[in-house]
Amino acid sequence: MRVINVVGARPNLIKIAPLVEEMRRAPEIETSLLHTGQHYDENLSQIFFDELGIPKPDVFLGAGSGTHAEQTARIMLAFEPVLRERQPDLVLVVGDVNSTLACTLTAVKMHIPVAHVEAGLRSFDRTMPEEVNRVVTDALAEWLFTTEPAATENLLAEGRPRDSIHFVGNVMIDTLLRHREQALQVPVLEQFNVAPREYALVTLHRPRNVDHAPKLAAIVEALGRVRKQLAVIFPVHPRTRQRLREFGLLGRATELLGTGLCEPLGYLEFLHLMARARVVLTDSGGIQEETTILGAPCLTLRPTTERPITADVGTNRIIGSAPERIVPEIERILAGDAPRGEVPELWDGKAAGRIVAVLREGVGAGI
């Protein structure tokens, strides 16, 4: 089985790393790695390849940024000749970025089966571009690998055949568990002059939060109030920094947060900060999952989540991004009322092995 593994953004690298490693151990599978270049910065992306031991991509499309339509179209146009040349038996996509959707559409129209890792996750909010990408990808993919039981139920409710759905666990957790001890040795706390459990860690990049000046300004002010009670470390996503600059808010954010407002960090540094944080505030889906495994309280600055198990079983609370909610929730945690979660089923570091086992069975069956 010739498999092309697709990545397009830095979070995809965390998910693909254990899969590439497992596939290279399987004699029945010939694997290659394709990076669409949807999000690519030489410094920020290269550190992920180095830290996670991911081989250099066999194919780099260099799609770059743009509107959703522009980006999706560029990826499709660049991916089609790669498929004609390499003739894969399977295209494997992860997550919910535009690359996931674009490569799925291109492959399926060329009658090449697609496997989707992290299938079935739903926020039920179609204003999120990621939700549209998830729904369309799952409607077209032939192999659907789920991380939690709710995802399986969503796929069944959408009419996907049960034998195409495989509950395997979470490949992001495979990577986290493999690198946790190494990450805890990285001297990142000294960089910010903080002690364990004495800071809040913040990430923010969703359009709902950063594309509207009044809302972004209100969140910045709320973080300033949080800093009066707890140190704040805020590695700023490039998109968020651009919006802060466009809206004239970068100076105010720097004034309120000081040196806690910093450039994005490598995987190991950020993992260390998550593990030792008193609380994590985020609008990222993956961070909701990682904090659950780390036992770190997480406040999700969105009204919904596509990963409900992190709130039902894990350490996550969905609070939205209203400032009048953020500060009281921080005070609640500081008073000792923090969510204490459990490890979800099959989040045991072996998800990639289960996925590759399913693919190898497919090879044996002549698929």
Catalytic residue positions? Answer: 205
Between CA 350 and CA 347 the distance in angstroms is 8
Contact 306, 131 (CB under 8 A): yes
| Partners of residue 316 on adjacent β-strands | 298
- Rounded Cα distance between 233 and 247, Å, is 21
The residue whose two tokens read 């000294």 is 190
**Bridge partners of 202?**
281
SS3 letters across the chain: CEEEEEECCHHHHHHHHHHHHHHHCCCCCEEEEEECCCCCCHHHHHHHHHHHCCCCCCEECCCCCCCHHHHHHHHHHHHHHHHHHHCCCEEEEECCCHHHHHHHHHHHHCCCCEEEECCCCCCCCCCCHHHHHHHHHHHHCCEEEECCHHHHHHHHHCCCCHHHEEECCCHHHHHHHHHHHHHCCCCHHHHHCCCCCCEEEECCCCHHHHCCHHHHHHHHHHHHHHHCCCEEEEECCHHHHHHHHHCCCHHHHHHHHHHHEECCCCHHHHHHHHHHCCEEEECCHHHHHHHHHHCCCEEECCCCCCCCHHHHCCCEEECCCCHHHHHHHHHHHHCCCCCCCCCCCCCCCCHHHHHHHHHHHHHHCCC
| Number of Cβ atoms within 10 Å of the Cβ of 65 | 14
CA dist 274 and 266 (Å) reads 12
